[in-house]
Amino acid sequence: MSSEITKYPPGPTYKMPGKLIRQFIHDPIKTLSTISQKYGDVAYFKLGPKQHVYLINNPDYIEKMLIYDHRNFKKGKRLQIAKSLLGEGLVTSEGDFHNRQRRLIQPIFHSRQIMTYGKIMTDYAIRFRDRWKNEDTIDISQEMMELTLGIICKSVLNYDVESEAKQVGKALTTTRNYSRRLQSPIGHILDKIPILPAPRGARKAKKELDSLVYGLISDRRHHQQESDNNHYDDLLSRLLEAQDSNLAGPAPPSSGGAQSSNGKMSDKQVRDEVMTIFIAGHETTANALTWTFYLLSQYPDVEKKLHDEIDSVLGTIDENGNDVSKIPTAEDIPKLQYTEKVLRESMRLYPPVWTMGRYVENDYHVGEYTIPAGSSILMSQYVMHHDPRYYKEPEQFNPDRWTEEFKARLPRFSYFPFGGGIRGCIGEPFAWIEGTLIIATIVQKWTMRLIPDQRIKLDPAITLRPKYGMKMKLIRRKS
């Protein structure tokens, strides 16, 4: 700690050591929300003798940290363990190597590129909606997890989890469950909780996935040599093609993955990015959709307005009783403006990534305070998104609040479900397109109602999940 620190921001102090940490583990969202309401823009608390935590509740400070001063903040040690599964992918790498990978991969995720995956998204959503039966009860959380996993597998590897490789789906689910424990956004401030080595199941899953991904890489490389690569249009092929004009870019810090001399990624790097996209690219969207369907079931007026938009954009039943609705496509998205607002407002109330943490590299000045090197900072989407300074009636689900004027007035980081800056979500365009198309495709045919004894409780693990799942009864809108 720097010796110059004379003034700590306000925050909770307890005579009984351990009380705050217990509260924090038991209900981190409530703890952070209470601290922010009580202590304002920058709050300070200690979790144990060496854990100095600064909770940042001011959108301008968050913007400065994520956009302008990001070099001073690191994701930290805990990621080292996630690396055993994900390798040096975008989520786990830092510094120059991360920046290079980011530059290389960013173009693949531009909206224009991602629109080509719209058909996969709706094909899979149709598969799910068509196998549901009227009045059935489903766990929409589970369904959305499987749906988004299917979509990401098909988009990245051109692999159909259901028909071609059920074991791939299982291996990915095991890997996801394990890596979730490693990547917890508050993990870095709860470092005392021991991290166990990967259990046998996770190691086996990793082996299976590695063998699949390396096999496909070698297959694609073979086709590339035969100039036959146009045959594939999945993200894997695009990753193999991605080329950095700066050929002398840094090699990854870990051994065994040296960059190829032509500015393209080595097999190991491609494998790490594929695994990263798998893990980062489906649970978040699944949660966003789960909470959206929950909210729609609670707000019939919003649901009615959504139905009206979807029916008017995509068609409905004609005067002779024939279903003349069409399957949504990525080109329809600009017309599905209310659908987009519904998703936006749902991610405000239930941000899938509910908080982000960083370590401070060098003493950092924020407002009237200096945050010493070695401290932890937290920026919580959940806390900011519920702040009455920015959102009138913050607990209300009100998609109509998202007018262009409102968006223009809002400080940029009072709404940041995708983070921001060089470490912001690379998959954001993918998530918007996927989320909007899935909502439209499912709502075209189905309404959902929560079953009477369903308990709703937040489970703020790495993503914000419903603790007891989300069982809903299906009601068919039209055949």
Q: Where on the chain is the footprint of ligand HEM (CB under 6 A)? A: 90-91, 102, 276-277, 280-281, 284-285, 288, 352-353, 356, 417-419, 423-427, 430-431
Q: Could you identify the residue written with the tokens 């069409």?
A: 326
Residues 57, 384 contacting (CB under 8 angstroms): yes
Residues 399, 307 contacting (CB under 8 angstroms): no
Q: Compute the least distance from the CB of residue 98 to ligand HEM, in Å.
A: 6
Beta-carbon contacts of residue 164 (< 8 Å; ≥ 6 apart): none
Residues 154, 120 contacting (CB under 8 angstroms): yes
DSSP string spanning 255-323?
TT-PPPTTSBPPHHHHHHHHHHHHHHTTHHHHHHHHHHHHHHHH-HHHHHHHHHHHHHHH--B-TTS-B
Helical H segments across 42-94, by residue range = 59-63, 79-86
Q: Closer CB to ligand HEM, residue 276 or residue 454?
A: 276
Q: Closer CB to ligand HEM, residue 217 or residue 426?
A: 426
Three-state DSSP class for residue 53? strand
Beta-carbon contacts of residue 214 (< 8 Å; ≥ 6 apart): 267, 271
Residues 74, 41 contacting (CB under 8 angstroms): no
Q: Compute the least distance from the CB of residue 90 to ligand HEM, in Å.
A: 4
Q: Compute the least distance from the CB of residue 357 to ligand HEM, in Å.
A: 7
Q: Closer CB to ligand HEM, residue 93 or residue 447?
A: 93
Q: Closer CB to ligand HEM, residue 149 or residue 353?
A: 353
Which among 295, 418, 285 has a CA at the least distance from the CA of 349? 295
Q: Compute the least distance from the CB of residue 321 to ligand HEM, in Å.
A: 37
Amino acid at 166: K
Q: Taking phi first (over 0 means left), then psi (-120 to 50 degrees means alpha), and beta for anything else, what does residue 393 get?
A: left
Q: Could you identify the residue written with the tokens 């080509």?
A: 116
Q: What is the chain's percent helix, strand, coil content, to nearest 5? A: 55, 10, 35
Q: Compute the least distance from the CB of residue 91 to ligand HEM, in Å.
A: 4
Q: Closer CB to ligand HEM, residue 156 or residue 314?
A: 156
Q: Closer CB to ligand HEM, residue 251 or residue 426?
A: 426
Q: Closer CB to ligand HEM, residue 8 or residue 187?
A: 187
DSSP designation for 68: I
Q: Closer CB to ligand HEM, residue 184 or residue 297?
A: 184
Q: Compute the least distance from the CB of residue 151 to ligand HEM, in Å.
A: 9
Q: Compute the least distance from the CB of residue 431 to ligand HEM, in Å.
A: 4
Q: Compute the least distance from the CB of residue 180 to ligand HEM, in Å.
A: 14
CB 427: neighbour CB atoms within 10 A? 20
Q: What dihedral do alpha carbons 23, 25, 27, 28 form, nearest 10°?
A: 100
Q: Compute the least distance from the CB of residue 149 to ligand HEM, in Å.
A: 11
Q: Compute the least distance from the CB of residue 17 to ligand HEM, in Å.
A: 29
Which among 147, 141, 43 has a CA at the least distance from the CA of 458? 141
Which among 95, 74, 92 has a CA at the least distance from the CA of 84? 92
Q: Closer CB to ligand HEM, residue 57 or residue 325?
A: 57
Q: Which residue is nearest to ligand HEM (CB)?
A: 427
How far is it, in rounded angstroms, from Cα 291 to Cα 80? Answer: 31
Q: Closer CB to ligand HEM, residue 20 or residue 431?
A: 431
Amino acid at 11: G
How far is it, in rounded angstroms, from Cα 73 to Cα 82? Answer: 18
Q: Compute the least distance from the CB of residue 168 to ligand HEM, in Å.
A: 17
Q: Closer CB to ligand HEM, residue 48 or residue 419?
A: 419
